Structure 1
Amino acid sequence: MSAGAIGLTGIAGLFLLLALRIPVAFAMFLVGFLGIWVLNGWGAAMGLLASESFTLASNPELVVIPLFILMGNVASHTGMSRQLYDAAYAVIGHVRGGLASATVIGCGGFAALSGSSVASALTMGKVSLAQMDRFGYDPRLSTGSVAAGGTLGILIPPSTGFVIYAILTEQSIGRLFLAGVLPGILLLAMFVLTITLICLVRPHFGPAGPRTSMGEKARAMVGALPIVLVIALTIGGIYGGFFSPVEAAGVGAGLVILYGLITRTLGFRAFADACRDSIVTTATVMLILIAAHMINPFLALSHIPEVVGHFLAGLNLNVTGTLLVILFFYLVLGCFLEGFAMLVLTLPIFFPVVLQMGVDPIWFGVLVVLTLEMGLISPPVGINVFIVKTVAPKVPLGDIFRGVLPFWGAMIVTLGLLIAFPQIALILPNTMFN
C-alpha cells in the first residue's frame, strides 16, 4: 500500500472514530501514532510521542491559554458580563430590537474577556433571555441573537481559536489578536444591523423596552467601566507594544481578580470554581494540541498535503477561487465537526497550499476562524444552538435554528467583505509591527 493510500485510510479511520464519539484528542493520538508506526517504524512513533508532548507542553507562549480562560471565568463569577449588558440595555433598550442588540453587544464585550464562544452564549443567555421573554420578544429572535452573539467569542481577541491557529502554523499570536479586532467589530455591527432589519420588517419580533433616564444611563455606563478598562488595557497594551500576549493575559487576569476582591463579588468558592473550570478547559485544549502534533507528521509522511495541493491546482482556479473552495470545505465540515477539531485536522493539509499561493497567513487565519464561527450555529451540530437550548428549554430546537439563519447570512456578508478588503484584518497588525 502506498503512503498516500495509508494516509487516506488514516483520515477515514479518524472520521470513523469521531463518529463513534471517541474524544478528538484520543482519536488523533491513535491515528497519528499508528500511521507513523506503519510508515516509519515503532521507534519513530515512540520517539515522536515522547518529544512532541514535552516540547509543546513546555512552550511558554501557551501560558496565554489558561490565563485568558481564567480571566473569562472570573469575570463571569464577578458579574462583569451583567454590567456590560445593563449598560447596552440602558442606552438602546428602548428601541425596537434593542434588547437583542444589547445582548449581541454584551456578547462581544464578554468575548473580549473570555475568548470562548460557548461561555459567551451561556453567560449572556442566562442574563438576557428572561428579560427578552418578559417584554414579549419572539423566541426566534431572542435565542438566535444569543446563539449568534456567542460566536463572537472565537473572533474578538483574546481568542482561543487564534492561539491554536498560531501554534499550529507558527504565526504570531499578537498579530492574530490584532487582526481579529476590526473584523470582530464589523461582525458585531452586522449582527446589530440584522436585528434592526428584522424588527423593521416584523416589528412584533422585538418590542421596544422601557426608556431609562439619563441618570440610569450614566449609572449603567459607570458600572461597565471596569470591563471596558480591562479590555482596553489588554488589547491596547498589545497594540501599543507595552505587553506581549502572555503578559497581557496575566495583566487582564490579575485586574479581573483584583476587581472581584475589591467589590467583594469574588468569594473563595467562586474563585476555586473559576480555577477548576479553567484547568479543565486548558487540559482539553492542550491534549488536542499535543495530539495535533502527532497526526501532523503522519499526514506529512503520507504526502496528503501534496495530493490536495495538486488537486486544487488541477481545478485551474485563481487564488481567490482556490481560497473560496477551501473556505467552502470548512463551511461544510463545520456542520459536523467541532471548531478546534477542524483546525487541527485541516490546517496541516491546507496551510502549505495557502502559503504556496502567496496568501497572507494572518488574513487566512481570520477567514478560517470566521468560517469556524459559522459552524457554531450551523445544523446539525451547531454547538451554540444546543447551549442556548439548555438555557431556553421551552423553545423548540427548530425555532432556534430558524432564528440564527439571518445572522448566518450576516456572517456570509462579513466573510465576503473580508475577502474583498483584506486590509480590514491586516491594518492593525501591519501598523503595530511595521
Structure 2
Amino acid sequence: MSASLIGFVGILIMFGLLVLRVPVAFAMFSVGFVGITVLDSSRSAFSLLASETFTLASSPELVVIPLFILMGNVASITGMSQKLYDAAYAIIGQLRGGLASATVIGCGGFAALSGSSVASALTMGKVALGQMDRFKYNTRLSTGVVAAGGTLGILIPPSTGFVIYAILTEQSIGRLFLAGVLPGIMLLMLFIFVIMVICWFRPEYGPAGPATSWRNKGKALLGAGPIVAVILLTIGGIYGGLFSPVEAAAVGAGVVILAGFFTRALSLKTLWHASRDAVVTTATVMLILIAAHMINPFMALSHIPSAVGELLSGLGLGVIGTLILILVIYLVLGCFLEGFAMLVLTLPIFFPIIMSLGIDPIWFGVLTVLTLEMGLISPPVGINVFIVKSVAPNVDLGDIFRGVLPFWLMMILAVALLIAFPQIVLFLPNTMFG
C-alpha cells in the first residue's frame, strides 16, 4: 500500500471516528500516532509525542488563550457585557430595529473581550432576547441577530481562532489580531445594514423602542466606559507597539479583575469559577493542538498535501479560483464540523498549497476564520443556532435558521469584499509591522 493511500485511509478513519462522536483530539491523536508508526516507526511516533507535547506546553505564545478567556469570563460575570448593551440601546434603541442593532454592537464589544463566538451568543442571548421579546420583536429577527452576532467572537480580536491558526502555521499572532479589526468592524456594519433593510420593508419585525433622555444616555455611556477602555487598551496597545499579544492579554485580564473587585461585582468565589472555566477550556485547546502536531507529520509522510496540490493545480483555476475552491470546501465542511476541528484537520493539507501559490498567509487566515464563522450558523450543525435555541426554547429551530439567513448572505458579501480588496485585511498589520 502506497504512502498516499495510507494517508487517505487515515483521513477516512479520522472522519469516521468524528462521526462516532469520538473527541476531536483523541481522533486526531490516534490516527496520527498509528499513521506515523506505520509509515516510519513506533520510536519516531513516541519521540514526536514527547517532544511536541513539551514544546507546546512551554510555548509562551499560548499564554494568550487562558488570559483572554479569563478576561471574557470575568467581564461576563461582572456584567460588563450588559452595560455595553445598555449603552448601545440608549443611543440607538429608539430607532426602528435599534434594539437588534444594539445587540449586534453588544456582541461585537463582548467578542473583543471573550474571543469566543459561543460565549458571545450565550451571553448576549441571555441579555438581549428578553428585551426584544418585551418590545414585540419578530422572533426570527431577534434570534437570528443573536446567533449571527455571536459569530463576531471568532473574528474580532482577541480571537482564539487566530491564535490556533497562528500556532499551526507559525504566523504572527499580533499581525493576525490586527488583521481582524477592520474586517470585524465591516461585518458588524453589514449586520446593522441588513437589520435596517429588514425593518424598512417589515416595520413590525423591529418596532422602535422608547426614547432615552440625554441624561440616561450619558449615564449608560459612563457605565460602558470600563469595557471600552479595556478594549482600547488591549487592541490599541498591540497596534501602538506598547504590548505584545501576551502582555496585552495579561494587562486586559488584570484590569478587568481589578475593575470587578473595585465595583464589588467580583468576589473571590466568582473569580475562582471564572478561572476554573478558563483552565478547562485551555486544556481542551491544548489537547487539540498536541493532536494536531501528531497529525501534521503523518500528513507530510503520506504526501497528501502535495497530492492535493497537484490535483488543484491540474484543474487550472488560477490563484483566485483555487483560493475560492478551498474556501468553498471550508464552507461545506463547516456544515458538519466544529471550526477548530476544521482548522487542525485541513491546514496541514491546504496551507502548503496556499504558500506555493504566493497567497499572503495573514490574508488567507482572516478569510479562513470568516468562512469558519459561517459554519457556526449553517445547518445542520450550526452551533450558535443551538446555543440560541437553548436560551429561547419556545422558538422553533427552523425559524432561527431562517432568521440567520440574511446575516449569512452578508457574510458571503464580506468574504467577496475581502477577496476583492485584500488591503482591508492587510492595512493595519502592514502599518504596524512596516
Instruction: Work out whether the TM-score is over 0.5.
Output: yes
Aligned pairs for 1:86-105 within 5 A: 86-105=86-105
Q: Secondary structure of 1:264's match?
A: coil
Aligned amino acid, residue 407 of structure 1: F
Residue 142 of structure 2 is matched in structure 1 by: 142
Alpha-carbon distance in structure 2 between the residues aligned to 1:155 and 1:169: 17
Aligned pairs for 1:128-277 within 5 A: 128-277=128-277
Alpha-carbon distance in structure 2 between the residues aligned to 1:210 and 1:273: 37
Residue 410 of structure 1 is matched in structure 2 by: 410
Shift of 1:10: 0.2
Alpha-carbon distance in structure 1 between the residues aligned to 2:9 and 2:358: 30
Alpha-carbon distance in structure 2 between the residues aligned to 1:194 and 1:348: 36
Aligned amino acid, residue 325 of structure 1: L
Please say if 1:62 is aligned against 2:62: yes
Shift of 1:57: 1.1
Segments of structure 2 that go 5 or more residues without pairing to the other structure are none
Residue 12 of structure 1 is matched in structure 2 by: 12
Alpha-carbon distance in structure 1 between the residues aligned to 2:84 and 2:281: 24
Instruction: Tell me which stretches of 4 or more aligned residues in structure 1 moved more than 2 Å.
Output: none
Residue 51 of structure 1 is matched in structure 2 by: 51
Deviations 1:358-397 (A, max 9, x none): 0000000000000000000000000000000010000011
Alpha-carbon distance in structure 2 between the residues aligned to 1:282 and 1:176: 20
Q: Secondary structure of 2:211's match?
A: coil
Residue 80 of structure 1 is matched in structure 2 by: 80
Residue 293 of structure 1 is matched in structure 2 by: 293
Aligned amino acid, residue 66 of structure 1: P
Q: Secondary structure of 1:365's match?
A: helix
Deviations 1:302-328 (A, max 9, x none): 000001100100010111111000000
Shift of 1:270: 1.1
Alpha-carbon distance in structure 1 between the residues aligned to 2:53 and 2:400: 40
Shift of 1:344: 0.3
Alpha-carbon distance in structure 2 between the residues aligned to 1:333 and 1:301: 24
Alpha-carbon distance in structure 2 between the residues aligned to 1:52 and 1:250: 25
Alpha-carbon distance in structure 2 between the residues aligned to 1:22 and 1:198: 41
Aligned amino acid, residue 136 of structure 1: K
Q: Secondary structure of 1:6's match?
A: helix
Normalization by structure 1: what TM-score? Answer: 1.00
Alpha-carbon distance in structure 1 between the residues aligned to 2:282 and 2:103: 27
Deviations 1:189-248 (A, max 9, x none): 000001000101111110111110000101001111100100000000000001000000
Aligned amino acid, residue 75 of structure 1: A
Shift of 1:267: 1.1
Deviations 1:42-61 (A, max 9, x none): 11111111111111111011
Residue 425 of structure 1 is matched in structure 2 by: 425
Residue 22 of structure 1 is matched in structure 2 by: 22
Residue 324 of structure 2 is matched in structure 1 by: 324
Shift of 1:67: 0.3
Deviations 1:49-86 (A, max 9, x none): 11111111110110010000000000000100000000
Shift of 1:333: 0.3
Q: How many residues align?
A: 434
Residue 282 of structure 1 is matched in structure 2 by: 282
Shift of 1:268: 1.7
Q: Secondary structure of 1:156's match?
A: coil
Alpha-carbon distance in structure 2 between the residues aligned to 1:386 and 1:289: 26
Residue 312 of structure 2 is matched in structure 1 by: 312
Q: Secondary structure of 2:426's match?
A: helix
Deviations 1:245-297 (A, max 9, x none): 00000000000000000000001221111011101110111100010000000
Segments of structure 1 that go 5 or more residues without pairing to the other structure are none
Deviations 1:19-49 (A, max 9, x none): 0000000000100000000000111111111
Alpha-carbon distance in structure 2 between the residues aligned to 1:248 and 1:339: 25
Alpha-carbon distance in structure 2 between the residues aligned to 1:98 and 1:431: 35
Deviations 1:147-184 (A, max 9, x none): 00000000000000000000000000000000000000
Alpha-carbon distance in structure 2 between the residues aligned to 1:303 and 1:222: 58
Aligned pairs for 1:330-341 within 5 A: 330-341=330-341
Deviations 1:313-352 (A, max 9, x none): 0010111111000000000000000000000000010000
Alpha-carbon distance in structure 1 between the residues aligned to 2:7 and 2:22: 20
Residue 392 of structure 1 is matched in structure 2 by: 392
Residue 108 of structure 1 is matched in structure 2 by: 108
Residue 364 of structure 2 is matched in structure 1 by: 364
Alpha-carbon distance in structure 1 between the residues aligned to 2:201 and 2:331: 29
Alpha-carbon distance in structure 2 between the residues aligned to 1:18 and 1:197: 40
Alpha-carbon distance in structure 2 between the residues aligned to 1:164 and 1:178: 15
Normalization by structure 2: what TM-score? Answer: 1.00
Deviations 1:410-433 (A, max 9, x none): 000011000000000000000000
